A and B are shown apart, each in its own frame.
Chain A
Amino acid sequence: MSRKILLIDDEPAIVEVTRATLEILAGWAVIAASSGSEGVALAAAEQPDAILLDVMMPDMDGPRTLKDLQAGARTGDIPVVFLTAKVQAADIRRFRNLGAAGVIAKPFDPLRLASEVSSILGWKTERGKSAEVEG
Chain B
Amino acid sequence: MPTQTKTINILMIENDPVDAELCLLALKKAGMNVCTEIVQRPEEFQSKIAGGAYDLILADYNLSGWTGLDAFETSRRHGCEIPFILVTGAVGEEAAVECIKRGIADYILKDRLARLPYAMERTIEEKALRDERARAEKLAREKEKQLNEELEMRVIERTAQLEAANRDLQMEVAERKRAEKILRESQERFWLLVDGVKDYAITMLDPQGRVVSWNSGAERIQGYRAEEIMGRHSSCFYTSEAIERGQPGADLWRTAAEGRLEGERVSVRKDGSTFLAEIVLTPLHDATGRLRGFSKVCRDITAQRRAQEALARLRLQQQLILNSAGDGIFGLDPSGICTFINPAGARMAGYEPEELTGKSLRNILLSRPPEDGGRSERSCPIQAALTEAQEPHSDTATVARKDGTFLAVEYIVTPILNGARQSLGAVVVFRDITARRAVESMKNEFVSVVSHEVRTPLTAIRAVLGLLATGNLCHEAGKCQSMIKVGMENTERLARLVSDILDLERMESGKVHIEKKRCDASALLEQSVGLMRAGAATQGITISARTQPVLFDADPDRITQVLINLLNNAIKFSPSESTIQAAVEQCGEEVVFQITDSGRGIPADKLSLIFERFQQVDAGDSREKGGTGLGLAICRAIVEQHQGRIWVESTPGQGSTFFFSLPVRESV
Instruction: List the interface of chain A (C-beta within 8 A of B).
Output: 10-14, 16-18, 20-21, 24-25, 56-59, 85-88, 91, 106-111, 133
A36 to chain B, nearest CB (A): 12
**Chain A proximity mask over B275-297: 1 for CB below 8 Å, otherwise 0:** 00000000000000000000000
B618 within 8 A of A: yes
- Chain B interface SS verdict (over half): helix
Interface presence of B479 (CB below 8 A): yes
Question: Assuming the A-B contacts A17-B463, A110-B462, are A10 and B455 also in contact, with contact meaning beta carbons closer than 8 angstroms in the complex?
Answer: no
| Partner-contacting stretch, out of B1-9, B42-50, B124-132, B465-473 | B465-473
Name the residue among B451, B454, B483 with the largest chain A CB count within 10 angstroms. B451
Q: Is the CB of A24 within 8 A of B472?
A: yes
Query: Could you give 21 example pairs across A and B, Cβ below 8 Å?
Result: A11-B456, A11-B623, A13-B457, A16-B482, A17-B463, A17-B464, A20-B463, A21-B463, A24-B467, A58-B619, A85-B452, A85-B454, A85-B459, A86-B448, A87-B455, A88-B448, A91-B448, A108-B462, A109-B462, A110-B466, A111-B466
A20 contact from B452, B467, B489, B620, Cβ within 8 A: B467
A83–B482 CA distance with the chains assembled, in angstroms: 22
A9 to B623, CA, bound (A): 12
Docked-complex contact A110 and B467, CB < 8 angstroms = yes
B524 near A: Cβ within 8 Å?
Answer: no
- Alpha-carbon distance A16/B230, docked complex (angstroms): 116
B residues within 8 A CB of A24?
Answer: 467, 470, 472-473
Contact B452 A13 (CB under 8 A): no
Q: If A17-B467, A24-B472 touch, does A85 touch B620 (CB 8 Å cutoff)? A: no
Contact B618 A14 (CB under 8 A): no
A85 touches which one: B455, B464, B467 (CB < 8 A)? B455
Minimum CB distance partner of A109 in chain B:
B466
Do A108 and B623 touch across chains, with their CB atoms under 8 A apart?
A: no
A58 touches B464 (CB 8 A): no
Does the CB pair B462–A10 fall under 8 Å? no
| Residue B460 at the chain A interface, CB threshold 8 Å | yes
Residues of A within 8 A of B490 (CB): 13
- Nearest to B620 among chain A residues (CB) is A58
Q: A21, B467: Cβ atoms under 8 Å?
A: yes
Q: Is the CB of A85 within 8 A of B623?
A: no
When the two chains form their complex, are residues B455 and A25 in contact, meaning their CB atoms are under 8 A apart? no
How long is the Cα–Cα vector from A111 to B452 in the complex, in angstroms?
22
Residues of B within 8 A of A88 (CB): 448
**Residue numbers in B under 8 Å from A20 (CB-CB):** 463, 467, 473, 479, 483
CB distance from A15 to the nearest CB of B (A): 10
Instruction: Give per-residue flags for B462-501: 1 if the beta carbon is below 8 A from chain A beta carbons, else 0.
Output: 1110110010110000010011001001100000000000
B458 at the A interface (CB under 8 A): yes
- A14 near B456: Cβ-Cβ < 8 Å: yes
B483 touches A13 (CB 8 A): no
Residues of B within 8 Å of A58, CB to CB, are 618-620
Q: Which of B622-656 contact A (CB under 8 A)?
A: 623
Residue of A nearest to B486 (CB): A13
Q: Check if B451 sits within 8 Å of A87, measured CB to CB.
A: yes
Which chain B positions have C-beta within 8 A of A106?
455-456, 458-459
Inter-chain contact B458/A17, CB cutoff 8 Å:
no
Given contacts A21-B467, A110-B467, contact A13 B462 (CB under 8 A): no
Residue pair B623, A107 in contact (C-beta under 8 Å): no
Candidate in A13, A24, A86 with the most chain B CB atoms within 10 angstroms: A13
Q: Which residues of A contact B464 (CB under 8 A)?
A: 17
Selected contact of A56 from candidates B452, B458, B463, CB within 8 Å: B452
B468 to A, closest residue via Cβ = A110
Known: A11-B623, A57-B619. A17 touches B470 (CB 8 A): no
Interface size on B, residues (CB 8 A): 30
How long is the Cα–Cα vector from A91 to B448 in the complex, in angstroms? 10
Residues of A within 8 A of B619 (CB): 10, 56-59
Partner of A17, one of B448, B455, B460: B460
Check A111–B459 contact: CB distance below 8 A. Answer: no
Chain A residues with CB under 8 Å of B452's CB are 56, 85-86
Q: How far is the CB of B461 from chain A (nearest CB, A)?
A: 8
Distance of A102 from chain B, by nearest CB (Å): 17
Contacts of A85 in B (CB 8 A): 451-452, 454-456, 459
Per-position contact with A for B568-605: 1 when CB-CB < 8 Å, else 0?
Answer: 00000000000000000000000000000000000000
CB atoms of B470 and A108 under 8 A apart: no
CB contacts (< 8 Å) of A17 on chain B: these are 459-460, 463-464, 467, 483, 486
Which 3 A-B residue pairs are closest in the complex by CB-CB distance? A58-B619, A85-B455, A110-B466
Contact partners of B449 in chain A: CB under 8 A = 56
Q: Which A residue sits closest to B453, measured CB to CB?
A: A85
A88 to chain B, nearest CB (A): 8
A18 to B464 alpha-carbon distance, docked (Å): 9
Tell me which residues across on chain A come within 8 A of B483, comparing CB atoms: 16-17, 20
Extra contacts, 11 of them, besides A17-B459, A88-B448 (Cβ < 8 A), are A11-B623, A20-B463, A20-B483, A21-B466, A21-B467, A24-B467, A24-B473, A25-B470, A58-B618, A87-B451, A107-B459
Q: Which residues does chain B contribute within 8 Å of A111, judged by CB atoms?
A: 466, 470
Q: Which A residue sits closest to B462, measured CB to CB?
A: A107
User: A13 touching B456 by the CB < 8 A rule?
Assistant: yes
Distance in Å from the Cβ of A131 to the closest Cβ of chain B?
14
In the complex, which residues of chain B have a beta carbon less than 8 angstroms from the beta carbon of A57? 619
Partner of B459, one of A12, A14, A25, A86: A14
Tell me, in angstroms, the Cα distance from A110 to B472 when the chains sit together. Answer: 12
Q: In the complex, how many angstroms separate the beta carbon of A92 from the nearest chain B beta carbon?
A: 13
Structural contact, B467 and A108, CB atoms closer than 8 A: no
Tell me the complex Cα distance, A17–B619, Å.
Answer: 21
Assess the B463–A18 pair: CB atoms within 8 A: yes
Chain B residues, Cβ within 8 Å of A56: 448-449, 452, 619
Chain A nearest CB, measured from B483 CB (Å): 6
Q: Enumerate chain B residues within 8 angstroms of A16, measured Cβ to Cβ.
A: 460, 482-483, 486
| A106 → chain B closest CB, angstroms | 4
Report whether A107 and B455 are in contact in the complex, using a CB–CB cutoff of 8 Å: yes
Q: Whole-angstrom distance from the CB of A89 to the nearest CB of chain B?
A: 13
Residues on B with beta carbons closer than 8 Å to the beta carbon of A11: 456, 460, 623
Q: How far is the CB of B451 from chain A (nearest CB, A)?
A: 5
1/0 contact trace for B430-464 toward A, CB 8 Å? 00000000000000000011011011111111111
| Cβ-closest chain B residue relative to A13 | B460
Nearest residue in B to A111 (C-beta to C-beta)?
A: B466
Question: Which residues on the B side are within 8 Å of A59 (C-beta)?
Answer: 619
Q: Could you tell me if B482 and A108 are in contact, using CB atoms closer than 8 angstroms?
A: no
